[in-house]
Amino acid sequence: MNDRGSATVEAMLAITAIVLVILLGVAGGRITVASAAVEAAARDAARQASIARSASEAGRTAESSARESLRSRGVRCDSVSVRLSTSGFSRPVGSPATVSATVFCSVPLDDVAFPGLPGSVARRATFTSPLDPYRGRES
């Protein structure tokens, strides 16, 4: 029986399997880190919006806060959008109100050469923060 070259073939199969496991780990790690960062960005955006005096100011501060939060955590997004529910600003002072921020991030995976992996994965998180019922606000 001639077994010449079988060790080479077995080594190549093992190396291929190890590389695929590593790539899958990189993709999974990137998605996990991005998910946590998007949740933190939504939390930061809602908190910053909740201390604004007006709905328009809340929108500006929420957007910049979410982008800065993602940037500071080293998360790269193909696209980022922030949706803010500012209906609480129309409630009268003295009554409870909230503001909600939803952050969307499209996490790129095209540089991870894993077969069958999509080019990007969308991550989304929402956080609600209370408005101070006794702080003046404009609708």
CA gap 73, 60 in Å, rounded = 20
| DSSP-derived secondary structure letter, 113 | -
Q: What is the CATH number of the domain that holds 109?
A: 3.30.1300
**Tens digits of per-residue pLDDT, 50-106?**
999 888 999 999 999 999 999 999 988 989 999 999 888 888 888 899 999 999 999
- The whole domain housing 32 covers 6-131
Q: How many domains does the chain have?
A: 1
Please give the radius of gyration of the chain, using alpha carbons only, rounded to the nearest integer. 23
Is 138 part of any domain?
no
Is 124 part of any domain?
yes
Is 117 part of any domain?
yes
Is 58 part of any domain?
yes
**Tens digits of per-residue pLDDT, 7-38?**
888 888 889 889 888 878 887 888 888 999 99
User: What pTM does this model have?
Assistant: 0.80
